[in-house]
């Protein structure tokens, strides 16, 4: 037996929610020639407390957690969902299991060739204590598109949505009270079967786990434009949510944060003249009440929050353009904001490009704030969902 230190293989290309030493085990043991433990997750050890701060007739139960201190990091919940598919077969019925470590063959496709996809969505607490999901079928469809590109088996839309429901239902006491955050749900599809030569894995595992989260960013964003490193290239995988898309941006992101920036805005890899995406979210500009966002033409992820904001903006009567956006248009914009599951709708306060720093309008009277209020109102049940976007977890 060999003793390994914690986190020995957390850096396998999975985009996890962050690392929190508080919730990691001190050490674990594994047979070196048998399996690799890749996902560290101790029992939460949390008790359940009663909270009566909702208007529902029955008091809701919540995890014993200080919701006022909730940030955006790993807070392990009690259960996860696991489902498998063998080569040439459809996914069979999965099951909810206690959240813990998983074992995997060192030859697994995800470990050797990065054959994996992630998704991200949230569960929200209504004022009366009930729990809502936001457009989960959109995540399911995006996963299927990504799986086809990556030569992977994938769950059906119905299997995906039901698995998300089961995971949230099992961890319902971890959905924060309304106004305190949300439950971030992370579906993960990986090539778990063994391969040596480059080829699709013979087996796939679909996992879902969750963590309560607060705000991803605090206050308006301070972005820097990266004009040397690139997030995606034409013909690549920039338009799907493969795990391999994310670790390559870490160098630019780490350097930017060391200089005091919130995040990085990437340019197109061909001409370096057009804006594309921030490291983990889409970007919009506003000029004279016209809202523009880069078109999803193969290098940009078709975000579900992005799609929803476009539809809400059109309902409000705004003109919305999906087009190529040159740097000049960005620098001359009245307002800039980002969208994504984690960032929701986040205003951009300033952007630095080479030696030029431009500031943008933020605050209560902005277009982004108006869109944010409507979106989050629908997500949390404060605004009537006339579009049928929310799904109740019962």
Instruction: Give the tokens for residue 56.
Output: 């529902």
Rounded to 10 deg, the angle between the 136-149 and 157-170 helix axes is 130
Provide long-range contacts, Cβ within 8 A and 24+ apart, for 141-146: 142/240, 142/241, 142/302, 142/304, 143/117, 143/119, 143/187, 143/189, 143/241, 145/240, 146/117, 146/240, 146/241, 146/242
3-class DSSP state of 175: coil
State the virtual CA torsion across 220, 372, 315, 362 in degrees, nearest 10: -30
Q: Are 285 and 368 in contact (CB under 8 A)?
A: no
DSSP letter string over 60-111?
Answer: EEEES--GGG--SS----SEEEEEEEETT------EEEES---EE-TTBHHH
Bin 135: left if φ > 0, else alpha if -120 < ψ < 50, else beta: left
DSSP type of residue 177: P
Instruction: Give the tokens for residue 122.
Output: 């949230």
Distance CA(246)–CA(13), nearest Å, equals 8
| β-pairing verdict for 356-359 and 344-353 | antiparallel
| β-pairing verdict for 344-353 and 221-226 | parallel
Q: Of 375, 345, 394, nearest to 128 (Cα)?
A: 394
Instruction: Identify any residues that bridge with 286 across adjacent strands, giving them in sequence order.
Output: 291, 335
Q: Are 266 and 278 in contact (CB under 8 A)?
A: yes
Active site residues: 241
Q: How far is CA 26 from CA 6, 41, 75, 209, in A?
A: 6, 11, 16, 21
Distance CA(229)–CA(250), nearest Å, equals 11
Q: Of 331, 333, 344, nearest to 376 (Cα)?
A: 344
């Amino acid at each position: 037996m060999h003793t390994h230190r914690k986190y020995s293989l957390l850096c396998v290309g999975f985009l996890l929610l962050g690392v929190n030493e508080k919730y990691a085990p001190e050490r674990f043991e594994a047979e070196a020639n048998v399996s690799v433990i890749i996902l560290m997750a101790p029992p939460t050890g949390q008790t359940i407390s009663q909270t009566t701060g909702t208007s529902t007739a029955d008091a809701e139960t919540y995890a014993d957690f200080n919701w006022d201190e909730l940030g955006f990091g790993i807070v392990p919940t009690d259960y996860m969902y696991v489902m498998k598919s063998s080569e040439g077969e459809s996914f069979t019925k999965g099951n909810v299991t206690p959240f813990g470590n998983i074992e995997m063959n060192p030859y697994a496709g995800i470990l050797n060739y990065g054959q994996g996809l992630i998704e991200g969505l949230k569960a929200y607490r209504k004022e009366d204590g009930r729990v809502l999901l936001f457009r989960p079928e959109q995540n399911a469809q995006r996963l299927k598109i990504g799986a086809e590109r990556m030569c992977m088996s994938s769950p059906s839309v119905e299997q995906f949505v039901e698995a998300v429901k089961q995971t949230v239902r099992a961890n319902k006491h971890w959905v924060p009270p309304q106004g305190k955050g949300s439950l971030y749900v992370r579906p993960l599809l990986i090539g778990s079967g063994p391969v040596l030569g480059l080829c699709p894995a013979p087996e796939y595992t679909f996992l879902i786990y969750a963590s309560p989260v607060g705000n991803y960013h605090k206050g308006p964003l301070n972005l820097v434009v990266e004009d040397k490193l690139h997030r995606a290239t034409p013909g690549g995988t920039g338009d799907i949510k493969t795990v391999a898309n994310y670790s390559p941006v870490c160098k630019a992101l780490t350097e930017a944060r060391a200089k005091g920036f919130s995040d990085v805005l990437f340019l197109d890899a061909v001409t370096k003249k057009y804006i594309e995406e921030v490291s983990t979210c889409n970007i919009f500009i506003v000029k004279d009440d016209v809202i523009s966002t880069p078109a999803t033409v193969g290098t940009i992820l078709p975000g579900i929050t992005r799609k929803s904001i476009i539809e809400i903006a059109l309902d409000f009567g705004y003109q919305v353009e999906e087009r190529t956006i040159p740097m000049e248009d960005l620098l001359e914009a009245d307002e800039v904001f980002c969208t994504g599951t984690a960032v929701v709708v986040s205003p951009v306060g300033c952007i630095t490009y080479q030696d030029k720093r431009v500031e943008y309008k933020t605050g209560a009277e902005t277009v982004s704030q108006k869109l944010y209020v409507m979106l989050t109102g629908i997500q949390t049940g404060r605004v009537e969902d006339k579009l049928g976007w929310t799904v109740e977890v019962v």
